[in-house]
Amino acid sequence: MSDRRESPLSEADPESSAEPRHRLVVGLGVSGRAIARFLQAKGASFALADTREAPPGLEAIRAAHPEVDLQLGHLDALDFDAFDEIVVSPGIDIARAGLDGVRSRIVGEIELFVRECRVPIIAITGSNAKSTVTTLVGEMLAEAGIHAAVGGNLGDAALDLLIDHSNAECFVLELSSFQLETTRRLGAYCAAFLNLSPDHLDRHGDLEGYRAAKARIFDGARHAVVNAEDAATRPERHLPDVVTFTAEPPAAGQWGVVSATPEAPAWLARGEAHLMPVSELALIGRHHFANALAAAAIADTFGVPWSAMRRVLSRFQGLPHRGELVVERNGVRWINDSKGTNVGATLAAIEGLGGSLVGRLIWLGGGVGKGADFTPLAEPLGRYAREAILFGEDAERLQTALQARVTTRRTTTLAEAMRRAAAIAEPGDCVLLSPACASLDQFPNYMARGEAFRGVLARGEEVEC
């Protein structure tokens, strides 16, 4: 299947197309360590640097690369002229790290991956749902008997996949704006841009800068999958094939939802061709209709049989911390969507669940808001919520944005918010943790926040309904 994708072409000038003699790797997180392992396996010459004085796992890094020069702290002590190429980890903000002057020599992990990859790349980005869609596509390919390695911004780093899956027929990569902004030309077999909502504006400057970084996913793509309801996801340049999806009834050739009638259920479909009834989806919530359709559209470009898609969609119940049903107790569902770290993700969860409830929604939100505008949450919460229970650093800002439309209650911790939810929940209600905020005020990451939610529920005596 390797003939399905042309070898990627670098946009670098001819003098820089040769293998660099000496590189600098900046950032020693997951991607940086993968870059170092990859370069070491190739026998390449490189040095390591991190803007932190003591990055996590420092001793392990030194043990793995004992002969490699290592610079910690401010980068101004380095002689950048000594390096032909500078490979930065996604977590490194080029401007803040003082690397503006060497931008022409900067690449990222995905650029190194593209240079070495000889099989098709399926690449997926978006503000929300990209992990779910990436996983669904990987499972659909596997169900069809195709050896697909899945990772990138999800799970294993792309360069680790390249080393560990040398016989892969395809790579399915979730890609963030941080990864794409240092990729010169991806050349994906299929590139998907799922949606756009404000996030990471402190890094990209404004929404247009954020969108432009994500839109780099289309550079050199053969097929594109985009959201018909979000014009920001469309490629600006002509591509050979652009497929759209919508949660509305589809046009000819478009993926969408054929509306239910009294005589028939709603179906996922492409044009007039029906894929499966939406009632057979294992994922909970209407917002997952779009995720299922996007995954099907992507897999379809690769020739995956629809029967394989149906089998995956009928069993896939979601990823941890992403719309995950933890427990149903006394008629109340408790859903962990801790990955909802921005307003767009939380809006999708609220809208997706709210309209299907027998009872009301009890929303748990708060944390570090990253300067976000919370007012778009007010209207849907006003329609669906019994109460918005707020915790963490930006609880007061959330309350100010919401209290005119929905009853609010401020608490201090997630556990306290859950006890309040249990006290007011009625049969048919749904308690939704989808905080619209980062977790770093009270938790190391969104996974730890989600595990805390699970843990309180496991100790059921604290939240008896």
Give the residue numbers marked as catalytic.
Answer: 130, 153, 200
Locate all alpha helices (DSSP H) within 259-367, ordered by sequence.
287-301, 306-315, 343-354
CA angle 360-362-367, nearest 5°?
A: 155
CA distance linking residue 380 with residue 360, whole number of Å: 12
